[in-house]
Structure 1
Amino acid sequence: MDKKISFIIELLNSKKISVSQKEKILLLSVNELKRLNINEDKIMSEIQALKLRIDAIVNAKKKLSSLDSDSFQNIIKDDLGLQNHTINLTKKKKHSPKTMVKFLYNFSIGEKFKWFTHNPEGLSEFDYESYVNSANQDYNLVTGWNINNVTYHNVKNFIINTGDKHKTNIYGKGNIKLSWRDVKKWCKEHPNEHPYNAELDGDLFKKYINQFKQIIEFRTDEADLTFNIRIKKLIRSLVGGDIIISFSESFNDIGQSVKLFCDTNLLFNAIQQISEWILANKAKSSDVEVNLKNCDEFYILEIIHRNSYLSIPIDDVKLLGLSGDFDKVRKMLFSVADWEIIAQLKYNENIQALKIICLDENTKLQDNLMSSNIIETNNENVNYVKHVLKLYKTQNL
């Protein structure tokens, strides 16, 4: 079934198929679902997946405007005889990096989460069961609805017993070996003591706490783990010697003092894909600059592939960011960082400057389908492909 749905979406994305042909494809799809004798809820689920994808394309491309949501819904319900059926959708998520920052900030200031990551100096008593149970009860409230699902689970797997199969991952290093579930026995044997300095398998538990901290924040208390050092090492390791990378003076000056709560796993994975795009276009240019700006409520990280450009038609649906690696990176950065691309587009005789708004306050996610990119054109002189990532501070949360 998944393969059939994917094939239908490919057809609907194709520029070679006319609007009337796409309408016919929709009707044939409905008939096929009926023929398979799938239960009604399953049928509506599959149809809704198609509908959401079509809506995104319709909203972004005027030539598909005849496929509006209401007429599509009526076609589906009339043909299936489901006029009284209500389509149940999961609640929409709104891209909100501040939701992530506010949640992770609790590991610094929130009494119900702070002691999962801090040395308990000055803490008179610590009860493992009550502390973990309290955090578990409040977890959904504190994370907020708009949190990235990967952030939600990766953090939860470290502080709460979600089962031995569910580990917390740290980018490039695999899973954190031990978590709070592994100190439960020690805490029973040492009542009222915090396990920060508990010895487990020859290591103090604080070793694993510090590893966890690396995935939720950029810190300044260890010289080799500052923002500028971690980003430099990451990008250099990803692009190798084929690309000439320069880090601006502001990147070095600002980056060494950045204190930031962020899902570093998701950020690093996104930067990895951006680096792969740069490598794929190294024949155009091998010149890359990385810059950092400090604003009142956020930092702006810029990765600039100079003298490069996008080789794609302006009306290609790939620019909408609804599939492939583009879609994956948007989901990585969802509620982690705002993201836009400023680029020169060259295709045949057409040369244009584009701004592609990939993630901002208007971006929505529902049933794993995102609203489309916003594409703006201008007459500016642009001779690069620039990725702009906005990383929020703890101000005005």
Structure 2
Amino acid sequence: MVKPFRISIPQQEVDDLFLRLKQARWPSIFCEEPWALGTDHSFMKRLIDYWGSEYNWREQENWLNSFPQFIENVDGMNIHFVHVRGEGVSSQPLLITHGWPGSFMEMLKMVPYLTTPSLFGGNAKDAFDVIIPSIPGFAFSDKPTRPGVGSRHVAGLWAKLMERLGYERFFVQGGDIGAGISTWLSLMHPNRVMGLHLNFIPGSYKPPLSQETPPIRDEEQNFLNKVTDWMEREGAYGAVHKTKPETIAFALSDSPIGLASWIVEKFQAWSDCNGNIEASFSLDELLTNISIYWFTNTIASSIRIYAEGPKVPLSFSKEQQVIVKTGISIFPKELPMPPRSWVERGYNVTYWEHVNKGGHFAAMENPKLFAEQLHLFFHSVNAPSV
């Protein structure tokens, strides 16, 4: 049974956080270009000072609670989700899945553009019912207590959740880990998914290649080379998450400053901020996302999905491909994205758009622009064939 949910962090936990921030022990300063070796010392000092003084969790908590939230038990696991119904009588369901190190919170600024388009110059008939679940192990969903809760398993939970909410058919959207979950949904339930939108291609995606398929093109090989180079420079976090997530979890669960450093470096590196993270995110936005991880103590459970997902990797073949109409929006500062020819080997791509700004957290960086992409693609899916 679906139950309403409100975030209410006990004051003693807020006080404990402030005490830990005041007792920080800082690493030594090393003279190097800011962010070159990871999280910048001067930015972190300013961020933590703000967190412990000016940042107001209760204000942010009230903002989060302004969005209707619920808990539903699916297969013995409590799933937290935001569910905002669209204006008018013809709104269609849209299931949006976040990734790491984001949370349901990174999608919230985009919600009004999707649920009430008439307020922004659009048409009420284009409204969506927006459902944003928290992946198990993230935010206020249950933490998995056993192996096996990877992207495929979560996709199965999402299918059941949408059925419980009365949505037999629905649109899906995902980036980062959410892209893998959304892809699995489309593979497992092609008759229920009306359209699939991705702003990231799952890292585990390997298109079907055989003697019958065309040879790898130069643009595809260039992409594969870029991925190799990116993994050399940026992939250390992922290697830790996939192989020894429990080791780093002790440090990140015990230190709010360590947690903030681990998360904020990705927001800086993966956003369209030209080196200045505050060009894309306010300190309040960064800290609210980090605070959700801290108060729910979910950094350990969230990174375990990196180890669980590969146990059941996305499998594409001549017989198994995404037949659902698929839209891809490519943001300029996204992690390496494959060319269209590579994606079309496994997905039924009907929409392919290069967007002029944004990065890995595009819904949070440019909510209006991201929402416009969703409207454009899903409208094309609904458009009658000529």
The verdict on a shared fold, with TM-score over 0.5 as the criterion, is no
**TM-score when normalising by structure 2:** 0.26
**TM-score when normalising by structure 1:** 0.25
Highest RCO, 1 vs 2 (Cα 8 Å, sep ≥ 6): 2
